[in-house]
Structure 1
Amino acid sequence: MPFTSRGPNYAGRRVLITGGLGFIGSNLARALVRQGARVTIVDSLIPEYGGNRRNLHGIASKVTVNISDVRDRHAMPVFVKDQDVLFNLAGQTSHMDSMTDPDTDLEINARAQLSILEACRHHNPDLRIVFASTRQLYGKPQYLPVDEKHPLNPVDVNGINKLAGEHYHLLYHQVYGLKTSVLRLTNTIGPRMRIRDARQTFLGIWIRQALKGEPFEVWGGDQLRDFSYVDDAVSAFLLCGASSAADGRVFNVGGCAPIDLKDLADQLVALVPGSSYRQRRFPAARKAIDIGHYYADDSALRETLDWAPRTNLKTALQRTVSFFQRELAHYA
């Protein structure tokens, strides 16, 4: 795939995005449309999983949308056929949902991933595949920053199933030669993120409550986190989807310098006049699966694909809040 001075060029490329009506998938679709790619989206639009037709506002006529579930093993061969790149973002992201409904999490994050890979192996083995994974696989960090060599020790069912899905992708590269790569995402924020609840990130519900004039809760407050702005995460996907250097590799996607949650809350309150928060102890059920401090070492991605985040946290928060000030009715 040709590269321009600003990165890979997807003009004319046929691209499939599973989970493409969700937060990251829709922002990825927008970037691809701007480049002239032929974009097809597969999304189940199950309310709990983040898909929102509003996410395609302004580009809906320029993409093909199929409302289908990746658990449908009969549909996936049709979708993967004749595609050049698959960005595989379909997944169940809620850690708490995975503990209360582990069977569904298993179906989506593990078994369905095998079906997708089998469809690719049999119907389009030359497809390049980028799988969206998570920093949750590391569990509670043994050292910081966390690099890809850190032990994997998930603290919830979601992490275990995402780990299985990740390993399926790597195995199919090793055994069948599929061009797969994996991105372990940290806390990704930006326009179109899910804010109606905390199923994707706690910051979403902070923003919703702040904009509605309701005090939001900060559990603990001293935990360090890093945040990735969605445009920077999209850049990592585009680079992986265009480079053979990514094949068979796992990369952390980091972002802004780490910040503790209380300072993050203070920054958000400063952006939304009249907003406020209160600190409280962790609820017992959430404390049991909290990972404590986390921030990523993403030097492998930087060195291999010349990637770097371009958006600092202040700018990321400003852009996110500004978007939802305009669009709150469509997302809250």
Structure 2
Amino acid sequence: MDWTGRRVFVTGGAGFLGSNLCHALAQRGARVVALDGFLFGGGANPRNLDGADVEFVRGDIRDIDLRPLCEGASVIFNMAAQTSHMGGQADPLADIAVNAVAQVRLIQAAREAAPDAVVVHASTRQFYGRVETLPVAETQPVAPPDANGVSKFAGEQYWMLEHRVRNRPVVSLRLTNCYGPRLRIRDARQTFLGIWIRCVLQGQPFEVWGGEQLRDLTYVDDVTGAFLAAAENPACHGQIFNIGGSPPASLHALAELVVRLSGGAASYTTRTFPADRARIDIGSYHADDSAFRAASGWRPLVDLEEGIGRTLDWYRTRLEDYL
């Protein structure tokens, strides 16, 4: 796909994944409209779009008129979401409002203003809950372990219904742990790695909960590449795909890698899961993303050591902007 001059709408455009996607699209010559409401506890940061040639609109996807923003879009990248698992547990109604009800609002607006647009929806591996078989393929049963997983699954299914009923080209990408520049690092609301990075760069020890769980991590440039590939390849349209990344590693192994790449001055402690988190922990997870690789030709290019090293270097000069 030649992105030059194409009008593209990105929801959640000032967040971690959305802003990286906006930068990549602008560099390819697309005319990007980015929407973000800077919801409390989300990943949006005013500095995330620095240097990106995009039209930014500040507004809440739950109540802003979405039709003018969709108008004429050939592709909609739907990154807006409430992603905090504990936030969803504490306030499931707010969770549903963003992850499900607002998705229906966007679907209705796109029907009117961008009836032919390709939609790539940011989804999550959280749906699968605690799995029995690794790696996890798309055929695994869905058993969300928390309210956030339920609301996100509802949002995804509304989009897939739009494909089945209206024949809109929709792709849903179920993401694993994503990391890299522009990640929220002030706390652990987006991912455990964010708070680890903050602690390391501030010279403080970080905590590893459990430690034996396996995780696969995807560097943000590879995530961006997956979204672009999903939009560009008609073989992907109408499908749900898992997206993986580096070979799985235990949390202890990841912690040791972070310590080594920080120069060895960092340290961590291991503790058992807090009771409220233990109830929703999914255990080990890593994705079988062979279906997406076959359909799109995509594969991750940044290995774990390179990715974490890049991430630490990026934040060293920008730490205050992300605290």
Gap runs ≥5 in structure 2: none
- Rounded to whole Å, the distance in 2 between the matches of 1:50 and 1:14 is 24
1:257 alignment partner in structure 2: 247
TM-score by length of 2: 0.98
Q: Does the 8 A contact of 1:44 with 1:67 survive in 2?
A: yes
- Rounded to whole Å, the distance in 2 between the matches of 1:20 and 1:240 is 18
2:316 alignment partner in structure 1: 325
Among 224, 235, 245, the alignment partner of 1:234 is: 224
Kindly report which structure 2 residues correspond to 1:1-332, keeping only aligned pairs within 5 A, or say none.
Answer: 1=1, 9-59=2-52, 62-72=53-63, 75-273=65-263, 274-332=265-323
For residues 265-316 of structure 1, give each alpha carbon's deviation from its aligned partner in whole angstroms, at most 9, with x where no partner exists: 0110112232110000110100100000000000001000101000110001
For residues 160-185 of structure 1, give each alpha carbon's deviation from its aligned partner in whole angstroms, at most 9, with x where no partner exists: 01000010000001001111110000
Percent of residue pairs identical: 48
- Rounded to whole Å, the distance in 2 between the matches of 1:39 and 1:304 is 26
- Rounded to whole Å, the distance in 1 between the matches of 2:304 and 2:261 is 12
Q: Does the 8 A contact of 2:206 with 2:268 survive in 1?
A: yes
Deviation, structure 1 residue 241: 1.4
1:6 alignment partner in structure 2: none
- Rounded to whole Å, the distance in 2 between the matches of 1:47 and 1:213 is 27
Match of 1:49, SS state, is coil
The CA RMSD over aligned residues, in Å, is 0.9
Deviation, structure 1 residue 122: 2.3
- Rounded to whole Å, the distance in 2 between the matches of 1:31 and 1:124 is 22
- Rounded to whole Å, the distance in 1 between the matches of 2:132 and 2:111 is 37
Q: Does the 8 A contact of 1:29 with 1:39 survive in 2?
A: yes
- Rounded to whole Å, the distance in 2 between the matches of 1:170 and 1:141 is 23
Match of 2:41, SS state, is helix
Match of 1:125, SS state, is coil
Letter in 1 for 2:280: I
Match of 2:115, SS state, is coil
Which runs of structure 1 show a deviation greater than 3 angstroms over 4 or more consecutive aligned residues? none
TM-score by length of 1: 0.95
Q: Does the 8 A contact of 1:43 with 1:51 survive in 2?
A: yes
Deviation, structure 1 residue 189: 0.6
- What is the count of residue pairs matched by the alignment? 322
Letter in 2 for 1:291: I
